[in-house]
Amino acid sequence: MRWNLTEEPKSEKVAHLSKVLNVSPTISKLLLNRGIETYEQARTFFRPNLADLHDPFLMKDMDLAVQRIEKAMKSNENIMIYGDYDVDGTTSVSLVYNYLSKLYPNLTTYIPDRNTEGYGISYQGIDFANDNDIRLIIALDCGIKAIDKVKYAKEKGIDFIICDHHRPGNEVPDAVAILNPKQNTCSYPYDELCGCGIGFKLVQAIHQKRKLDFKEIIPYLDLVATAIAADIVPMNGENRILAYFGLQVINKNPRTGIKALLSSIKKEEITITDVVFVVAPRINAAGRIKSGNDAVALLIEDNLEAAAEFAKAIENHNIERKDLDKRIAKEALQQIKENNEEERFTTVVYDENWHKGVIGIVASRLIEKHYRPTLVFTKSGDFLAASARSVKGFDVYEALEKSSEFIEQFGGHKYAAGLTLKPENYEKFKAKFEQVVKESIPKELLIPEIKIDAEIDLTEITPKLNRIIKQFAPFGPQNMKPVFATSSVRDNGYGKPVGADKSHIKLSLIAGSHFKTFPAIGFGLAEKFEQLPKGKGFDIAYTIDENHWNRNVTLQLVLKDLKG
C-alpha cells in the first residue's frame, strides 16, 4: 500500500491554533488539514448549527418547484413521488411523501423495478402516472439525463420537478423545475448534497414559504443522515450539519422503520459507521433483491409491529444479497484469472446470469482484490447493464464519457456510475475503456493509498486526545477518521493471529524506551505481520478506537497497514 503523509502545516499556524483553542499541536494539525485555521472556524466545526444551513430558495428553480406543488395542491391534482431504488432514492421518496402527506392526500409513490425498468425515470412509470390521472411527478435522486422521458411525459400533459445531484449532461430535460446544485447555472453555495438532501431542501422551502417553524422538519433528518452515509458524499458543509443533527434524531427519536432496523444493535450511541454498515445495506437490499417499494413502506410506517415485519422481510433480502454477492465475486475473480487479465489497467467482467441487484457491490469487492477502475456487466433485457466503481483519485464518469461511442446511456458520479450498451458493443467498449484508462490514469493510483494525517509517538495517545477526535465526527469523505503513523514500534512478544481463519492479528505494541504497551488489532493483516523481520521495529498506520468490554472502555489501535 502507498502511504501518503499529509503535508505538515506551517509551524506558526500550528502554534497559533494550539494557543487559541488550548489543544495539542497534533489536534491543531488535524484541524488545519481540514481547512480550519481560526477559533470561529473551529467553533463551527465542533458545534454544527442548523442556523448555518443555506436558504433553500438560493437553489435555482426552487421558487418554481414550490409554486408548482402549491398549484397542484390547490387544484386537487394527483402527485407522484418518484425515486431511485437505492438508499438515497428510497429515503428521498419517504421524506417528501411523509412531509407532503401531512398537507395533502392525493399522493402516491413510485420506485422503478431494477430488472424490468432499470435506473431512473422509466416510460413504464410515466404510463402508470398517466393511467392514474397524475399530472405532476416529483423525481428524486434521478432524472437529470431523462430528456426523452420528460418530453414523453409532457406530451401526455404530465409535468416534472427533478431533484437530482448527479452530474448533468450538456442538455437538461424540459422540466417545470430542476433542483440540482451541480448545474453550471445554479449558484447555490453548496453543490455536494445527496438526492435526499435536495429533497429535504425542497421540504424546507415549502415549510419556509408557509411561514412554519423549522423545528417541525428536524425529525426528517434521520432519513437525510442515512442517505448521506450510504451515498458516500463529502462530510463537510451542509452535509456535515445535516448528518450531525440526523444522527441526533436517530439516537433520540428515530422513525419507527429505522428503530426496527436498529433493534439488533445494543449500543449506547449509534454512529455514522452503524448507519453505513447496518441500516444502509438493509434498505439497499430491498431494491437489490425484491423491490425498493419495501424500503419505502418500512420508512413511512408508524406502527412498530408492522415496521418489525417489514424489517424482518428486508433482513431476509439482505441475507440473500450477501450470499449472491459472495458467489458472484468468486465467479468474477475466476473469470479474471482464466482470461489472464490481472495486468490490465481496468477490470471489466460479464456474465448473463449475474444478479443485476448486486453487481455494484461485486464491483467494489473486485477493487479490494484488483485495485483498478471496475465494471461488472450482466444481461438486462436486450441490453447489457453495468455498475462501475473507481479507485481513489480517478474519475470513472469522465472515462465513460470518453468511451461513450459504444454506450447507449450512462450516469453517475466520479467514483460510481451505471451504464447500458448493446451486446455487440461489449468487446469494443471493453477495449476502448481499457485504452482510455491506460492513457489517463497515473500509475500510482493503481496502488491503494492510505492517507496519513500525522506522525505521532504512541505516548501522545491519551483519553483526552481520543475525546477531541471523537468530536470530529461524523466522519466521511473529506473528513475521514484521522489516520496516524508511528515508526519503529515493537510487539511485546505476545502478538498472535486471531479470528476463525486466523487472518487477523492482536498485538501489544511498545515504542522507544517506554514500557507502556498499547493494544492493537489488525484485521486481515496476519500474513503481513508474519512477513516482518523478527526482532526488529516496524512502522504502523492506524486509527484510534475504543474497545468496550464488560462495561470497561479502553483505547486500542486499529491497524490499517504495517511495514518493516
* Percent of the chain topping pLDDT 70: 100
Separation of alpha carbons 516 and 514, rounded Å = 6
183 pLDDT tier (thresholds 50, 70, 90): very high
Q: What b/e sequence results for 274-298 when a residue is b if at least 16 CB atoms lie within 10 Å of its CB, and e otherwise?
A: bbbebbbbbbbbbbbbbbbbbbbbb
pLDDT band with cut points at 50, 70 and 90 for residue 557: very high
What is the mean predicted confidence (pLDDT) over 96-121? Answer: 94
Chain position carrying cell 475466476: 334
Q: Is residue 441 part of a domain?
A: yes
Three cell numbers, residue 374: 471496475
Q: Are 1 and 449 in contact (CB under 8 A)?
A: yes
Report the pLDDT value the prediction gives residue 267, as an integer from 0 to 100: 82
pLDDT at 114: 87
Look at residue 407 and tell me if it is in a domain.
Answer: yes
Do 167 and 183 reside in the same domain of the chain?
yes
- What pLDDT band is residue 536 in, cutting at 50, 70 and 90? confident
Stretch 176-200: mean pLDDT: 97
Q: Do residues 427 and 500 share a domain?
A: no
CB atoms within 10 A of CB 33: 16
Residues 460 and 391 in one domain: no
More confident residue, 141 or 536: 141
pLDDT digits (tens, 9 = 90+) for 253-297: 999 999 999 987 878 889 999 999 999 999 999 999 999 999 999
Which residue has 461489449 as its cell numbers? 426
Kindly report the backbone phi and psi dihedral angles of residue 108, in degrees, each rounded to the nearest multiple of 5, phi listed first: -145, 160
Same domain for 283 and 349, yes or no, is no
Burial (Cβ within 10 Å: 0-12, 13-18, ≥19) of residue 506? middle
pLDDT tens track for 331-378: 999 999 999 888 899 999 999 999 999 999 999 999 999 999 999 999
pLDDT digits (tens, 9 = 90+) for 314-324: 999 999 999 99
**Nearest Cα to 544, choosing from 21, 33, 30?**
30
Q: What is the CATH number of the domain that holds 169?
A: 3.90.1640.30
Whether a cis peptide bond, with omega within 30° of 0, leads into 474 is yes
Which pLDDT score, from 0 to 100, does residue 512 have?
73
Query: Which of 446, 474, 502 is the last residue in one of the domains?
Result: 446
Verify that 391 and 474 share a domain, yes or no.
no
- Among residues 275, 297, 312, the one where a domain terminates is 312
Asked if the model's pLDDT at residue 163 lies above 90, the reply is yes
CA distances from 357 to 171, 288, 321, 351, 380 (A): 29, 4, 8, 14, 11
Are residues 61 and 181 located together in one domain of the fold? Answer: yes
Q: Does residue 423 lie in a domain region?
A: yes
**Domain of residue 77, residue span:** 56-312
Give the pLDDT confidence score for residue 493 in this predicted structure. Answer: 83
Q: Has residue 199 got a pLDDT over 90? A: yes
Q: Which residues are within 8 A (CB) of 449 and not within 5 positions of it... i.e. 6 or more apart? A: 1, 2, 3, 4, 392, 393
For residue 23, being part of any structural domain is answered with no
Of the CA atoms within 13 Å of residue 174, those in its CB half-sphere come to 9
Instruction: Give the whole-angstrom CA distance, residue 511 versus residue 455.
Output: 13
Please tell me the distance from the alpha carbon of residue 291 to that of residue 90, in angstroms, as a whole number: 10
* Average of per-residue pLDDT across 224-242: 95
CATH code of the domain containing 494: 2.40.50.460
pLDDT band at 551 (very low <50, low <70, confident <90, very high): confident
Residue 149 lies in a domain: yes
List the beta bridge partners of residue 504. 498
Domain boundary among the residues 446, 478, 501 is at 446
Question: Which of the four pLDDT bands, split at 50, 70 and 90, describes residue 514?
Answer: low
